[in-house]
Amino acid sequence: MKEIVGIRFKKAGKIYYFSPGSIKLDTGDHAIVETVRGIECGEVVLGNRELDDSAVTAPLKPIIRRADANDLKTVEKNKIREHEAFRICQEKIAARKLKMNLVDVECTFDNNKLLFYFTAENRIDFRELVKDLAAIFRTRIELRQIGVRDEAKILGGLGICGREFCCKAHMGDFNPVSIKMAKEQGLSLNPTKISGTCGRLMCCLKNEQAAYESLLKITPKIGALVVTPDGDKGKVVDANLITGKLRVKTEKSEVPLTLDRGEVKLLKDAEIKLNKDELRALKNLEDK
């Protein structure tokens, strides 16, 4: 067992584990730690606790100290510096006519590095831009090209459900989302219906997939052969996984019967498959 403290550096960001040593921290506290980017100040989201060795990637870096009032003032000053750096960088991008969109700027706690995040359709030669920024800020400059999912997570917004983006509100990291999930959930494979503002498959497909997988195990799929309560054999032509209602077409009925999944006996289930045309048309929605 190892004692850890979980620290997050952004809202809904990934949680990183650190070794607390003799320092006791509670949820909501702030701490100064060393990261691969340098010295940072983060918020404690998991207070001192023990985890199994298998759940921890060793070695853990130690927490330097609990953040005090002066440290929190430094964080606020850095935010002001980030806003100024954002404005200046945009001016330099426009002056050099670079085809890139600046998304965010981060300043490390120790002011040792400024990180500029941007999106672009193609690779950008930003070497001269880095020189411009280094001459102004007199610190290390790093530019990182990010994808549209990362851009949505940083900027935030409201989804078609009317709620804040999942990636911005609570997701620590992105999970793989596939066209197959949309197919299994019975959604229309219209790109505008299953893609988010970022233009990629909606993250909520992954959030709900476990529930749909459970329902698929107990619900005959479209195309399945079943026996009705009257003993007639039929084929499922429509299935609602949530309500469990099936529409079954038998040889004796011109109009499909509406039955509950518990009323029919499954003879042979069907498979949910994606055809090549569907995959080809929607493949770009899966890319990050």
β-pair type (257-260, 15-18): unpaired
Check residue 270 and give its pLDDT. 93
Give a yes or no: residue 12 inside a domain.
yes
**What pLDDT, on the 0 to 100 scale, is given for residue 258?**
95
Please check whether residues 81 and 141 belong to one and the same domain: yes
> What is the count of structural domains for the chain?
3
Residue 25 has a pLDDT of 94
Q: Tell me, yes or no, whether 79 and 31 share the same domain.
A: no
Give the pLDDT of residue 32. Answer: 96
Do both 53 and 86 map to the same domain?
no
83 shares a domain with 50: no
Q: Is 103 contained in some domain?
A: yes
Which pLDDT value is given to residue 287? 63
- Asked if residue 241 belongs to a domain, the reply is yes
Model-level pTM?
A: 0.79
Query: Residue 33: its pLDDT value, please?
Result: 95
pLDDT at 138: 93
Is 210 a member of any domain? no
Rounded distance, CA 286 to CA 279, Å? 10
- The torsion region of residue 43 among left (phi > 0), alpha (psi -120 to 50) and beta comes to beta
Q: Which residue has the tokens 């009257």?
A: 230
**32: in domain:** yes
Q: What pLDDT was estimated at residue 257?
A: 94
Residue 204 falls within a domain, yes or no? no
| Residue 172 belongs to a domain | no
Please, what are the averages of pLDDT over each run of 10 residues along the chain (288 residues)? 91 89 94 91 94 83 94 95 96 95 94 94 92 95 93 90 89 86 89 89 91 95 94 94 95 91 94 80 72
User: What is the CATH number for 105?
Assistant: 3.30.300.20
pLDDT at res. 231: 92
Last residue of a domain, one of 107, 128, 146: 146
CATH number at residue 253: 2.30.30.30
244 and 264 share one domain: yes
Q: What domain range is 31 assigned to? A: 2-67
Q: Which of 80, 97, 90 is nearest to 116 (CA)?
A: 90
Domain assignment of residue 256, yes or no: yes
Question: Do the beta carbons of residue 2 and residue 50 sit within 8 Å?
Answer: yes
Residues 225 and 203: their CA atoms lie apart, in Å, by 33
- Which residue type occupies 30? H
What pLDDT score was predicted for residue 288?
Answer: 54
Q: Where does a domain end: 146, 175, 202? A: 146
Closest CA to 228 of 212, 202, 251: 251
Query: For residue 34, what are the β-bridge partners?
Result: 39
Residues 82 and 139 both lie in one domain:
yes
Neighbours of 55 (CB within 10 A): 10
Q: What is the 3-state secondary structure (H, E, C) of 3-36?
A: EEEEEECCCCCCEEEEECCCCCCCCCCEEEEEEC
pLDDT computed for residue 236 by the predictor: 95
